[in-house]
Structure 1
Amino acid sequence: MTAPTQQTRHDHPDKLLTPGEVAALFRVDPKTVTRWAAAGRIGSIRTPGGHRRFRESEVRTLLAQLTHDADSSR
């Protein structure tokens, strides 16, 4: 049996990423992702076991914004 998937809307399930998966996308340490979440820079969800998970759509949006900002500052 698989774990239920979190949903941002009833019609569109959103994949949840671990801090390690988010860290790989941003090329930072997973602890950095945890600090970002604690500081409110990125939203997170807590699992029943207390682990953080991140909505893929939110992570990809933030990554796109940061990539766009970096490109436009050149």
Structure 2
Amino acid sequence: MLTGDKLLTPAEVGELYRVDPKTVSRWGASGRLPCIRTPGGHRRFKESQVRALLEGDTGDQAAAVPAPRSGAHDQEPVAAGDVSGG
């Protein structure tokens, strides 16, 4: 690797996006997030590409990967009695 760009594991990318590492692997497999395969078959993601997507500097891939999730504590709870039936 001549560029000096750090390679991130799916777990590291998942922490940045607040998603499960398996989700990151699926993004790599589907082409939504560019990845490199190691000789052992594991996916690695270039830090510069991941950060560019996080910052919105993506060009054509702007809608390819969703924005990071907010934490569950950011959502207001819904009481059982508040659910309306159709």
Per the normalisation by structure 1, the TM-score is 0.72
Query: Which runs of 4 or more aligned residues in structure 1 lie more than 6 Å from their structure 2 counterparts after TM superposition?
Result: none
Q: CA RMSD in A?
A: 1.9
Which residue does 2:52 correspond to in 1? 61
Which residue does 2:41 correspond to in 1? 50
SS of structure 1 residue aligned to 2:49: helix
SS of structure 1 residue aligned to 2:15: helix
- Per-residue deviation, residues 2-52 of structure 1 (Å, max 9, x unmatched): xxxx23xxxx41000000000000000001001111111110001111110
**Structure 2 residue identity aligned to 1:13:** G
The gaps in structure 1 that reach 5 residues or longer are 1-5
The answer to which structure has the higher helix fraction is 1
Match of 2:23 among 32, 39, 52: 32
Aligned length: 59
SS of structure 1 residue aligned to 2:40: coil
The gaps in structure 2 that reach 5 residues or longer are 58-62, 68-86
Per the normalisation by structure 2, the TM-score is 0.62
